[in-house]
Chains A and B, each alone.
Chain A
Amino acid sequence: MDNGPNEQQRRGIRRTTILLALVALAIYVAFIASGVIKSQH
């Protein structure tokens, strides 16, 4: 399409996507880790 994202927008999309995916992954790991810690005490 003619109005595809420009280079700056592409960079923004890439950065935001990676950041949000990492946040989601970190929350997943953190909650399981909290379960591990809780079950050891």
Chain B
Amino acid sequence: MSATATHVAGAAHDHHDDHGPAKGIMRWLTTTNHKDIGTMYLVFSLLMFLLGGAMALVIRAELFMPGMQIVDPGTFNTLTTVHALIMVFGAVMPATVGLANWMIPMQIGAPDMALPRMNNFSFWLLVAAFSLLILSLFMPGGGPAAGWTLYPPLVLQTGDALPLAIFAIHLAGASSIMGSINIIVTIMNLRAPGMTLLKMPLFVWTWLITAYLLIAVMPVFAGAVTMLLTDHFFHTTFFAAAGGGDPVLYQHVFWFFGHPEVYIMILPAFGIVSEIIPTFSRKPLFGYDSMVYATASIAFLSFIVWAHHMFTVGMPLAGEMFFMLSTMLIAVPTGVKVFNWTATMWKGSLSFEPPMLFALAFLFLFTIGGFSGLMMAIAPVDFQYHDTYFIVAHFHYVLVPGAVFAIIAGVYYWLPKWTGHMYDMKLAKAHFWASAIFVNVLFFPQHFLGLAGMPRRIPDYSTQFADWNMVSSIGGFGFGLSQLLFVYLIWKCVRGGAQASARVWDDAKTEGLEWTVPSPAPYHTFEEAPVVK
């Protein structure tokens, strides 16, 4: 990012103190301020992380040893299904949307999001969606239990929870689409004078591309679950072979959404890491333009690889070859990114503050997840890995030390800008080391379990898998407990701490408009547009 502000009039905003937030609960119910809404998204996602994490701990407790100990198989299936839905749609996505709400207007020099009332509506729609999903757990017949992919015909056996879960997905999808529209129109219309597209920070770029992805694929998922709904209640047969339908059609439609969804979660993470590594390397980002083109290439390729999730379903050899090779192609732009982050650090004056530690862990551990993805792209080999714990290890490496670590890095990077306080560095580093160690204890053994043939989504297993399951569960409890440090640290930082300066990381190389406003960032930033040269 090469943008530097030459004039930031109105950054202090002394004359606008009367425009501060409303008091009490009404502030949060009716706010149209991007910072308030960003905060609400982040708090919501933290609550969902804790809820989804608690479900994961019950799953790991059940799998601690062979045999049935804690929950019955039906409840286990419900937990795996709802854990995934909560983590994907309730935790990771809203966390990146929260960061986008906070940072995009400040990074492009806009006074707020372009559609502030729709911004508020998007957030509260998400709350409604997850209230419904959580309520569905208590319906007769139990919660949704067919896995987060909701494959028919299995999912059509769900009891009264099905319409609630589908309606929840529709609402969450509508919320995401509205949020994406808001992000695109903000970036395309409200950039400060001089902020050309190729001067935008990488976080803004990755979110712009993510928002287009969301608009392209969320309606696809909405269409798929609408067809499930009509199959269940209105006797259509989209996915019922007996009526002329095709259950495999659902899988194609689902994964046409599902694979880009992975990039919807990881591209903003790439953006966060691309902000942090240059700062603490004290060098500009290596290959800015190539980072933008690599992001766009990854987004394009994400549309033409979906059937690599379906190799074992059966498809013509040409289809297998196409999806195998197109999947492997993704390694090229992803490799460009990993190379550029590494080259940014090369001969840099590195320092290892908590955001940098999490960004570095992201770089190593996401790459492990990427490599296991390449292994699974090989169609004949995928027949061995499919539906085993190897897959579970792969996507958790991409999403936990990948997306989640980048989100945590982003929070540690910008938290002093939001609160005006520095946080406890020692505690944050303790949080990092505990997280980095336990996340590997948790997920790395799952590669071994998968290669040894342990299927996913089972509550009981053969005794040959006992040892590594026990290790994995210990890692799970350790990882879960270490996140309480994060919650405590944020709470402590919000309540007080050493005053943060406007640049926050004074001895590092902070670029970008967000560092030109005081800390905490004023309620209204850039009432007069900054000029970027």
Contacts and interface: CB of A to CB of B under 8 A. Distances in A.
Interface of A: 1-5, 9, 12-13, 16-17, 20-21, 23-25, 27-32, 35-36, 38-41
Contact of B529 (A3, A13, A16): A3
Could you say which interface size class chain B belongs to?
35 or more
A31 B219 contact: yes
Contacts of B529: 3
B140 interface: no
Contact of B190 (A9, A23, A41): A9
B236 A17 contact: no
Contacts of B326: none
A19 to B, nearest CB: 9
Contacts of A25: 219
Contact of A17 (B115, B219, B226): B115
Contacts of B215: 20, 23-24, 27
B185 interface: yes
B112 interface: yes
Contacts of B236: 39
B219 A39 contact: no
B523 to A, nearest CB: 10
Contact of B219 (A2, A12, A13, A24): A24
Nearest to A21: B181
B246 A20 contact: no
Interface of B: 10, 19, 111-112, 114-115, 177, 180-181, 184-185, 188-190, 215-216, 218-220, 222-224, 226-227, 236-238, 243-246, 249, 253, 524, 526-529
B190 A27 contact: no
B238 A35 contact: yes
Given A12-B188, A35-B238, A35-B253, A2 B527 contact: yes
A19 B238 CA distance: 29
B218 A24 contact: yes
A39 B184 CA distance: 36
Contacts of B188: 12, 16
A39 B152 CA distance: 15
Given A3-B527, A13-B115, 20 more contacts: A1-B112, A2-B528, A4-B111, A5-B189, A9-B189, A12-B185, A12-B188, A13-B185, A13-B190, A16-B188, A20-B215, A23-B216, A24-B218, A25-B219, A27-B219, A28-B220, A35-B227, A38-B246, A39-B236, A39-B249
27 contacts: A1-B112, A1-B527, A2-B111, A3-B10, A3-B528, A5-B114, A12-B185, A16-B184, A16-B188, A17-B185, A20-B180, A20-B181, A20-B215, A21-B177, A21-B181, A23-B216, A24-B181, A24-B218, A27-B220, A31-B220, A31-B224, A35-B227, A35-B238, A36-B238, A39-B236, A39-B238, A39-B245
A34 B19 CA distance: 51
A34 to B, nearest CB: 8
Contact of B244 (A9, A21, A24, A40): A40
Contact of A28 (B190, B219, B243): B219
A3 B111 contact: yes
Given A16-B188, A16-B189, A20-B184, A35 B223 contact: yes
Nearest to A41: B244
B527 A12 contact: no
Contacts of B10: 2-3
Contacts of A2: 10, 111, 527-528
Contacts of B184: 16, 20
A35 B219 contact: no
